C-alpha cells in the first residue's frame, strides 16, 4: 500500500475515506521518507543506509596536519593511517593521531543546508535536481509538514496531552483515559467533522489494532468563539509490555470558507515496570568509544618470576615464540579489509590448500586472529584505576572478570603505569591470584605505590595457547588420510560386519546408530581416515564417544587413548563419565594447565589429577604418563604430552569431542604432535551448531571460522547417506526436547531424521501451564514493541521492556505449583548482548539468583527444562550492525547459533522479541510463522500474513549464499548472509571492535 500524498505534503489528511497508508515509514538516520514499506525495506539494504549506520556522512573533513580536505570518515581513517600522513606529521613534529575538523567554508565549494554537506561549485547548479538532494528535500518537507500539522491553527486551540507515561500491566489492562480540550479563540465558525488515529486508516491486512481509542464527549460538534470547549476522551487499553504510539488526526471545517484542516496530536504510552525503567534504563547518553593510537610501551620493567608456576611442568621440547611477522603486521595495521585480503592472497597465503601448504596457510590465519585479539583486548584498558596492597600483592579490581570479559588467568601479564608518570614507562605484573572480581599482581621492587596514586591498566594477551598451535603446525606430521582424506582411505568392510559383546551402557543396544558408531570405531583398521560422529542436539554423541573409549580399552591391553575437547567443561564431562566406568586397572589421567583454578574442577576427578607441592596443577614424570591407558585434556593443553617427550604414536586413538566448537588449529594440536602412522582419530560434534569464536573478519573470510569437522563433512568422503558407517555416523535419536521444540530445526536443518526419544515426564511437564497460549504447544513467542538502548561508552545493547517480560516469566514459573513446579536450576536465559545479560541478572537478584543468564556460547552442550531467549533489538536502524558482526537478533534463530539456543530447551521454549525487526530475516520469519500457526503467539499481533510464502532470497544476500555453505551449513552464517556482502566494510573498524564486547573470551587451556 502506498503512502498518502496529503501526509507527505501537509502532515495530515482530511479525507475520511482515504485508502492510502497514513503511517509513513521514515529513516531518521538517512533523513528519508518512503512511499511504501517495501521501499523502506529496500532502502535498509542500500549501501547509503549501511554507511550511515556506521556514522558515515560524506561530509568534508579537514586534516590540520596535511592541510587538506578528506571526503567522509571512511576515507579519513585510511588517510590518517597512511604512510604519507605519518611522514608529514613527523616532519612537522605533530602527533599523527589527530581529530578531523569540520570546516565552515571550503574553497571552491558551496554548503547545502538540506544535505548538510559541501558540494563542489562546478556541481552546484545541478545539485538540487540530484536524487540524493531531492530525497533529503522531500524528507525536510515531510518533517516540516508533520510539525505544522501539530500546530494549533485557524483559531482552534487543543489543550492537554496524550502521553500516558509508564503504566503497569494492571493499569494498562484496566484502561487509562486522558482528555483533550478544544476551544475557539477567534470569531470564526468551526465544526469538528472527524477524528481518527492514523493506524486505523488505510485498511492494511495484519496491521495490529491501535491500543488507543478516542471519543468526542457530548453530541455537539460545533465550536463557538468564547463558548464552551469540546472535549475528547483519549483512552489507552493494553495488557502487553511495550512502547506504543499513534497519531490522532482531528479534522475541522471552517463553515464560512468551506475549508477543512487537520490538527494532530501524538499519543504515547509505555506498558512496563516503572522500577525497572528507573533501575535499568540508560543512565547516560551513549557516546561511541573512539579508538585512539595507544602510547607505545617504550620501557617495560618486568615483574619478578613465578618459579613455582613457570617450572610446574618439566618441558623437554621448547616452545617457539612464533611472533607475528612485521611484514604481515604492516599489512594488517594500515590497509583496508579488501586490500588486506588482496595482499594476503597475493603475498602471504599459498595459492592452493593441500598437505604441503596446509601449515603455512593456517599459521597466517592464526597470526591474523592474534592481531585482532590484541586490538579487542585494548577495549578493556582501564584509566585512573586504584591498586590496593596486601602483603606482597597489589590487587586490581577488574570489571567483567567474573564473566571472562576480559579473561584473566594465573600467570597472565598486566601492565601498570602511574597516571602522570613518565610516558612509555610501564611495570609488568604477573597474575599470582585470581578472585571473582579482582586479581593480585607482583611488581619489580622499584615499583612505587601510594594509597592515593591512580594507574593506567593494560591487559596483555596470553600467547601460550597460540604458540602451542604454531608448534603443532610446524610439526612434520601431514598425512593426507588425516587432513584431506579421499575415498581410497575409507575402510572396505561393511559397518554391520561386527558386533559388540558386552556394552558398558546397555541403553546403546536399543539405539541402532549409536551401536553402529561404536562398532565402526571399535573395528577401524589402523591408520584410518578420521571417523566422524555427527551428533545433532541431544542425540548422545558424548555417550557414544565414552562407550567407544571404554570398549577399546577393554578390548586390548595395548590400547592407549587420548581424549580431548576444546573447553575444560567438555573435557571434564568426558573424564567424569570415563572415571565412573573404567576398570581400576585402566588408569585415567586428567591433565589441567597450571593456570587452572582448583575450585573449577570436579570433585569426582580428584584421584585423576596431579598437583605440585605448591598447589598448582602439573603433569607427572614421563615414565608415569606412559602408564596411563587414557589421558584427557583440552585440545591446546594436550601439547604437554609431546613437550615432555611422550613418543609419537604412543596413543592408538585420539578422540576430539565437541570438535565443531574448536578451530582446526586447535584440533591439530593433539593430532599433529602425537598421532603416528597407525593412530586412529575420531571427531564428534555437530557441524551445524555453534562453531569456534573468531574475532577477526579477515580470518573468518579466509576460513578460520570453519571447524575441521565442518570442512570434512563437505567432502564426498563423508557424504551421507552413502558413507554412513564407513567414515561417518549421524545420530538421530533425540533424548532432550519435546517434539514441538525439535520440529522446526529438525525439518529445516536435519533432513527430518531426528526422532523424539526424551523422557515424557520431563518434556511434557509444562503442557497445560496456564500461561501457554496453546496448552498443548510448549513454545511461546512473546511479541513486544519495545525500545533497545545503549549507555555511556558501552556499545552493548539492552532492552528494559524485555528485561521486565523475562523477569515476569521467571516469576510465573517459580510461583507455579503441582506438576509445573520450577526451581532456578530448571531455567536458562539466553541473550546475545552482554549488557542485557548483566541487567537481567540484576533484575533477578533476590527473585531467582541461581537462574543462569548468558550468551548462547555459555549454554553450548547444556540443557534446561525451560529456555527463555531475549532477542533485545527493536531499532531497525541498527540491525545491519548486528548482521555485520554476527551478533544479536539475527544470530539467534538463524543458523548455527539459533539451533543451539532453541535446542537447549527440554520442555518449554519462550522467545521474547520484536516481530517487526525479526521478520527482516527469512529464517526468523519462518520460525515465527511456525509458532503462530501452532497457536504459540502472544503479545502484539503478528504484523504480516503468516500464510504468505517466505522467500529466502529476499532476506539473504545472493553472493554470500552462493559462495558460502549449503542451506543449514551454519544456521548463523545464513543470517549473516542477509547483509554480510551488502554491509561489507573495508576495514576492521571501531564498531567491529565494539562488537567484540559481546563475544566471550574462551579459556582453551
Q: 851 near 826, Cβ under 8 Å? A: no
Which whole number is the average pLDDT over 944-949? 90
Q: What is the pLDDT of residue 646?
A: 97
Which whole number is the average pLDDT over 92-105? 74
**944 CB-side CA count, 13 A:** 20
Regarding the domain delimited by 299-304+317-465, which CATH topology (the fold level of the hierarchy) does it fall under?
Elongation Factor Tu (Ef-tu); domain 3 (2.40.30)
Which whole number is the average pLDDT over 505-512? 93
* In the predicted structure, residue 160 carries a pLDDT above the cut 90: yes
Which whole number is the average pLDDT over 289-305? 82
Per-residue pLDDT tens over the stretch 53-72 = 555 556 778 888 888 888 87
Q: 394 near 375, Cβ under 8 Å? A: no
Q: 500 near 682, Cβ under 8 Å? A: no
Residues 6+ apart with CB under 8 A from 87: none
Closest by Cα among 174, 286, 301 to 236: 174
Query: What gap in Å lies between CA 975 and CA 961, rounded to an integer?
Result: 10
Q: What is the pLDDT of residue 790?
A: 80
Which residues on neighbouring strands pair with residue 169, listed in sequence order?
none
β-strand pairing of 425-434 with 413-418:
antiparallel
Per-residue pLDDT tens over the stretch 612-627 = 998 999 999 999 999 9
Which whole number is the average pLDDT over 795-799? 84
* In the predicted structure, residue 410 carries a pLDDT above the cut 70: yes
Torsion angle, CA of 807/812/813/817, rounded to 10 degrees?
160
Query: What gap in Å lies between CA 382 and CA 557, rounded to an integer?
Result: 55
Cell 579490581: give the residue.
Answer: 397
Confidence category of residue 578, pLDDT binned at 50, 70, 90 = very high
Which whole number is the average pLDDT over 865-877? 82
What Cα–Cα distance (Å) separates residue 542 from each residue in 177, 460, 602, 833, 946?
Answer: 59, 35, 18, 29, 39
Which whole number is the average pLDDT over 241-246? 92
Backbone angles phi and psi of 544, in degrees to 5: -65, -45
Q: Do domains 490-584+629-731 and 740-942+950-975 have the same CATH topology?
A: yes
Return mean pLDDT, the chain: 85
**594 CB-side CA count, 13 A:** 25
Assigned C-alpha cell, 337: 579489509
Q: What percent of the chain has pLDDT over 90?
A: 58
* DSSP characters over 278-327: HHHS-SS---PPPP-PPPP--EEEPPPP-HHHHTSS--SSPPP--PPPHH
Question: What's the CATH class of domain 151-272?
Answer: mainly beta
Torsion angle, CA of 483/486/492/498, rounded to 10 degrees?
40
Assigned C-alpha cell, 707: 571447524
Which residues on neighbouring strands pair with residue 230, listed in sequence order?
182
Query: What gap in Å lies between CA 362 and CA 347, rounded to an integer?
Result: 15
* In the predicted structure, residue 971 carries a pLDDT above the cut 60: no
Give the residue extent of every domain in the chain: 5-59+102-148, 151-272, 299-304+317-465, 490-584+629-731, 740-942+950-975
Q: Under CATH, which number does the domain 740-942+950-975 receive?
A: 3.40.50.300
Q: What percent of the chain has pLDDT over 70?
A: 84
Q: What is the pLDDT of residue 994?
A: 54
Query: What gap in Å lies between CA 456 and CA 204, rounded to an integer?
Result: 58
Q: What is the pLDDT of residue 49?
A: 67
Q: 205 near 215, Cβ under 8 Å? A: no
Q: What is the pLDDT of residue 512?
A: 93
Cell 585479539: give the residue.
Answer: 373
* In the predicted structure, residue 37 carries a pLDDT above the cut 80: no
Q: What is the Cα Rg of the chain in Å?
A: 32
Residues 6+ apart with CB under 8 A from 347: 331
Which whole number is the average pLDDT over 656-672? 97
Residues 6+ apart with CB under 8 A from 71: 58, 59, 60, 61
CA angle centred on 86, ends 80 and 91, rounded to 5°? 135
Q: What is the pLDDT of residue 879?
A: 42
Per-residue pLDDT tens over the stretch 183-218 = 999 999 999 999 999 887 754 445 567 899 999 999
Say what the pTM is: 0.78
Q: What is the pLDDT of residue 889?
A: 43
Highest mean pLDDT among 397-411, 487-501, 747-761: 747-761
Q: Which strands make up the sheet holding 242-254, listed edge to edge?
A: 163-167, 259-271, 242-254, 190-197, 222-223
Q: What is the pLDDT of residue 45?
A: 66
Torsion angle, CA of 330/334/336/339, rounded to 10 degrees?
-40
Q: What is the pLDDT of residue 58?
A: 64
Which whole number is the average pLDDT over 476-500? 83
Which whole number is the average pLDDT over 501-506? 88
Q: What is the pLDDT of residue 222?
A: 92
* In the predicted structure, residue 982 carries a pLDDT above the cut 80: no
What Cα–Cα distance (Å) separates residue 737 from each residue in 167, 187, 756?
Answer: 37, 73, 7
Q: 922 near 956, Cβ under 8 Å? A: yes
Confidence category of residue 981, pLDDT binned at 50, 70, 90 = very low
Q: 222 near 248, Cβ under 8 Å? A: no
Q: What is the pLDDT of residue 793?
A: 64
Residues 6+ apart with CB under 8 A from 309: 410, 411, 430, 594, 595, 614, 616
* In the predicted structure, residue 359 carries a pLDDT above the cut 90: yes
Q: 65 near 94, Cβ under 8 Å? A: yes
Per-residue pLDDT tens over the stretch 533-560 = 999 989 999 999 999 999 999 999 999 9
Q: Under CATH, which number does the domain 490-584+629-731 receive?
A: 3.40.50.300
Cell 565442518: give the residue.
Answer: 710
* In the predicted structure, residue 954 carries a pLDDT above the cut 70: no
When comparing pLDDT for 907 and 91, which is higher? 907
b/e per residue, 157-187, with b = 16+ CB within 10 A?
ebeeebebebbebeebeeeeebebebbbeee
Q: What is the pLDDT of residue 708?
A: 98
When comparing pLDDT for 623 and 874, which is higher? 623
Helices 358-377 and 326-334: angle between axes, nearest 10 degrees: 50
Q: 785 near 821, Cβ under 8 Å? A: no
* In the predicted structure, residue 331 carries a pLDDT above the cut 70: yes
**Strand (E) or helix (H) holding 700:** helix 697-701
Amino acid at each position: 500500500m502506498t503512502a498518502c500524498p496529503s501526509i507527505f505534503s501537509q502532515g495530515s489528511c482530511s479525507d475520511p475515506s482515504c485508502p492510502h497508508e497514513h503511517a509513513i515509514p521514515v529513516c531518521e538516520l538517512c533523513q528519508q521518507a518512503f512511499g511504501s514499506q517495501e521501499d523502506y525495506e529496500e532502502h535498509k539494504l542500500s549501501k547509503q543506509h549501511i554507511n550511515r549506520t556506521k556514522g558515515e556522512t560524506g561530509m568534508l573533513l579537514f586534516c590540520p596536519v596535511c592541510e587538506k580536505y578528506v571526503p567522509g570518515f571512511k576515507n579519513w581513517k585510511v588517510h590518517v593511517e597512511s604512510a604519507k600522513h605519518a611522514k608529514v606529521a613527523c616532519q612537522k613534529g605533530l602527533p599523527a593521531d589527530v581529530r578531523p575538523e569540520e570546516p565552515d567554508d571550503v574553497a571552491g565549494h558551496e554548503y547545502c543546508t538540506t544535505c548538510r554537506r559541501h558540494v563542489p561549485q562546478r556541481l552546484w547548479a545541478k545539485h538540487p535536481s540530484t536524487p540524493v538532494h531531492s530525497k533529503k528535500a522531500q524528507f525536510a518537507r515531510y518533517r516540516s509538514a508533520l510539525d505544522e500539522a501539530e500546530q494549533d491553527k485557524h483559531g482552534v486551540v487543543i489543550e492537554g496531552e496524550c502521553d500516558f507515561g509508564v503504566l503497569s500491566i494492571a493499569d494498562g489492562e484496566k484502561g487509562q483515559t486522558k482528555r483533550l480540550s478544544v476551544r475557539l479563540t477567534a470569531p470564526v465558525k468551526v465544526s469538528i467533522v472527524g477524528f481518527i488515529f492514523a493506524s486505523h486508516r488505510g485498511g492494511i491486512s495484519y496491521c495490529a489494532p491501535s491500543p488507543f481509542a478516542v471519543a468526542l464527549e457530548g453530541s455537539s460538534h460545533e465550536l463557538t468563539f468564547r463558548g464552551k470547549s469540546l472535549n475528547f476522551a483519549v483512552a489507552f487499553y493494553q495488557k502487553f509490555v511495550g512502547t506504543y504510539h499513534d497519531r490522532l488526526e482531528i479534522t475541522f471545517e471552517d463553515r464560512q470558507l468551506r475549508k477543512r484542516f487537520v490538527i494532530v496530536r501524538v499519543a504515547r504510552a509505555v506498558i512496563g515496570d516503572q522500577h525497572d525503567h528507573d533501575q535499568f534504563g540508560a543512565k547516560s547518553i551513549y557516546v561511541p568509544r573512539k579508538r585512539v593510537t595507544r602510547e607505545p610501551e617504550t620501557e617495560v620493567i618486568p615483574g619478578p618470576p613465578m618459579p613455582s608456576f613457570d617450572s610446574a611442568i618439566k618441558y623437554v621440547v621448547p616452545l617457539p615464540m612464533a611472533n607475528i611477522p612485521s611484514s604481515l603486521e604492516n599489512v594488517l595495521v594500515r590497509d583496508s579489509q579488501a586490500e588486506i585480503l588482496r595482499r594476503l592472497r597475493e603475498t602471504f597465503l599459498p595459492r592452493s590448500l593441500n598437505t604441503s601448504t596446509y601449515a603455512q596457510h593456517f599459521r597466517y590465519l592464526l597470526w591474523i586472529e592474534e592481531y585482532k585479539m590484541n586490538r579487542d583486548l585494548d577495549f578493556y584498558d582501564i584509566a585512573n584505576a586504584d591498586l590496593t596492597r596486601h602483603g606482597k600483592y597489589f590487587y586490581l579490581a577488574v570489571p567483567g572478570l567474573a564473566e571472562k570479559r576480559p579473561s584473566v588467568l594465573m600467570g597472565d601479564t598486566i601492565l601498570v603505569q602511574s597516571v602522570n608518570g613518565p610516558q612509555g614507562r610501564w611495570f609488568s605484573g604477573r597474575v599470582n591470584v585470581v578472585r571473582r572480581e579482582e586479581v593480585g599482581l607482583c611488581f619489580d621492587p622499584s615499583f612505587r605505590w601510594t594509597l592515593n596514586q591512580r594507574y593506567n591498566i593494560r591487559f596483555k594477551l596470553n600467547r601460550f595457547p597460540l604458540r602451542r598451535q604454531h608448534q603443532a603446525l610446524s610439526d612434520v606430521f601431514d598425512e593426507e588420510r588425516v587432513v584431506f582424506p579421499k575415498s581410497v582411505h575409507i575402510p572396505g568392510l561393511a559397518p554391520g560386519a561386527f558386533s559388540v559383546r558386552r556394552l558398558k551402557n546397555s541403553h546403546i543396544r536399543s539405539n541402532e546408530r549409536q551401536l553402529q558408531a561404536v562398532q565402526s570405531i571399535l573395528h577401524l583398521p589402523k591408520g584410518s581416515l578420521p571417523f566422524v560422529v555427527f551428533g545433532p542436539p541431544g542425540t548422545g554423541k558424548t555417550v557414544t564417544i565414552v562407550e567407544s573409549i571404554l570398549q577399546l580399552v577393554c578390548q586390548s591391553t595395548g590400547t592407549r587413548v587420548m581424549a580431548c575437547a576444546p573447553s575444560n567443561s567438555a573435557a571434564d564431562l568426558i573424564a567424569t563419565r570415563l572415571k565412573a566406568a573404567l576398570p581400576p586397572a585402566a588408569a585415567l589421567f586428567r591433565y589441567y594447565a597450571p593456570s587452572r583454578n582448583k575450585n573449577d574442577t570436579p570433585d569426582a576427578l580428584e584421584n585423576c589429577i596431579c598437583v605440585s607441592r605448591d598447589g598448582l596443577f602439573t603433569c607427572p614424570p614421563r615414565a608415569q604418563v606412559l602408564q596411563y591407558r587414557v589421558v584427557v585434556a583440552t585440545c591446546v593443553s594436550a601439547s604437554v604430552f609431546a613437550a615432555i617427550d611422550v613418543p609419537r604414536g604412543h596413543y592408538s586413538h585420539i578422540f576430539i569431542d565437541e570438535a565443531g566448537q574448536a578451530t582446526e588449529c586447535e584440533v591439530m594440536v593433539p593430532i599433529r604432535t602425537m598421532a603416528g602412522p597407525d593412530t586412529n582419530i575420531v571427531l564428534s560434534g555437530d557441524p551445524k551448531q555453534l562453531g569456534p569464536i573468531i574475532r577477526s573478519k579477515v580470518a573468518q573470510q579466509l576460513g578460520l571460522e570453519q571447524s575441521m569437522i565442518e570442512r570434512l563433512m563437505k567432502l564426498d568422503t563423508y557424504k551421507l547417506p552413502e558413507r554412513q558407517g564407513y567414515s561417518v555416523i549421524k545420530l538421530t535419536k533425540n533424548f532432550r526436547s519435546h517434539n514441538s521444540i525439535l520440529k522446526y530445526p529438525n525439518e529445516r536443518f536435519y533432513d527430518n531424521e531426528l526422532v523424539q526419544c526424551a523422557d515424557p515426564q520431563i518434556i511434557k511437564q509444562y503442557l497445560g501451564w496456564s500461561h501457554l497460549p496453546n496448552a498443548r504447544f510448549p513454545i511461546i513467542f512473546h511479541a513486544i514493541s519495545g525500545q533497545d538502548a545503549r549507555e555511556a561508552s558501552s556499545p552493548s545493547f539492552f532492552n528494559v521492556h524485555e528485561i521486565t517480560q523475562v523477569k515476569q516469566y521467571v516469576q510465573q514459573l517459580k510461583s507455579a505449583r503441582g506438576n509445573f513446579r520450577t526451581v532456578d536450576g530448571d531455567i536458562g536465559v539466553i541473550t546475545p548482548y552482554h549488557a542485557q545479560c548483566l541487567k537481567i541478572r540484576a533484575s533477578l537478584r533476590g527473585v531467582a539468583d541461581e537462574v543462569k543468564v548468558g550468551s548462547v556460547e555459555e549454554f553450548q552442550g547444556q540443557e534446561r527444562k525451560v529456555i527463555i531467549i531475549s532477542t533485545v533489538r527493536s531499532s531497525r536502524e541498527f540491525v545491519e550492525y548486528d548482521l555485520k558482526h554476527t551478533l544479536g537478533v539475527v544470530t539467534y534463530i538463524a543458523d548455527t547459533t539459533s539451533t543451539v539456543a532453541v535446542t537447549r530447551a527440554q520442555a518449554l521454549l519462550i522467545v521474547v522479541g520484536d516481530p517487526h525487526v525479526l521478520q527482516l530475516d527469512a529464517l526468523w520469519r519462518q520460525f515465527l510463522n511456525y509458532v503462530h500457526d501452532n497457536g504459540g503467539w502472544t503479545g502484539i499481533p503478528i504484523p504480516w500474513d503468516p500464510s504468505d510464502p517466505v522467500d529466502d532470497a529476499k532476506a539473504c544476500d545472493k553472493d554470500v549464499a552462493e559462495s558460502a555453505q549449503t542451506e543449514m551449513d551454519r544456521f548463523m552464517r545464513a543470517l549473516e548472509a542477509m547483509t554480510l556482502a551488502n554491509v561489507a566494510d573495508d576495514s576492521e573498524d571501531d564498531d567491529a571492535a565494539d562488537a567484540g564486547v559481546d563475544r566471550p573470551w574462551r579459556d582453551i587451556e
